[in-house]
Structures are given as structure tokens and as C-alpha cells.
Amino acid sequence: MDLPRQLAESLRKLRREAGLTQAQMAKVLGISQPTLNRLESARQNTTLKTLTQLCRALKCEVGDLFREGLRLRAGQRRRPR
């Protein structure tokens, strides 16, 4: 799977597990709902700033968003190995 598609799927999954709508998540991030929609559908690339904000909001690390088969729930963090 390509990176934009993996990021999109991870964002969507973690947002849903956090119980947030796109509108709610976009408000937390300070971006528009259509922008978040494009990120979640891999139609737009993100900036490092937005990527960092996404991770803070979803309580995950950047690398987690690019792992296939992401099994984290929002609010949980991976333990360092």
C-alpha cells in the first residue's frame, strides 16, 4: 500500500475510534472539514505541522500512522521497544 493511502486509512480509523466526526476533528486541528476529508481519502498531502497536530489529537506517534494493520485505539500510545 502506498503511504498516502496508509495515512488516510489510519487517520480515518483512529478518528472513528476516538468517536469524533470529521467536523469535530477538523475543529480540534484548526483545519476545514473538507481538508480533513481530502486527507482521509488520500486526495491531499499533509504538511508536517498538520501531521504533528493529528498525532497530538489522536494520541499516537507519526510512525503509527504509516503502519499497515494499525491496531491502536485513540488514547493509547505504543510503548517504546
| Cell reading at 44 | 491531499
- For the stretch 35-62, pLDDT in tens is 999 999 999 999 999 999 999 988 889 9
Which pLDDT does position 77 carry in this prediction? 44
Which pLDDT does position 69 carry in this prediction? 60
pTM of full prediction above 0.85: no
For the residues of 53-66, what is the DSSP string, one character each?
A: HHHHHHT--GGGGG
Residue, of 78 and 57, whose pLDDT is higher: 57
Residue ranges per domain, the chain?
A: 3-66
CATH annotation of 3-66 = 1.10.260.40
**56-59 LR contacts (CB < 8 Å, sep 24+):** 57/25, 57/28, 57/29, 58/11, 58/14, 58/15, 58/18
Cα 42 to Cα 8: distance, rounded to the nearest angstrom: 5
Task: Work out the average pLDDT over 6-22.
Answer: 92
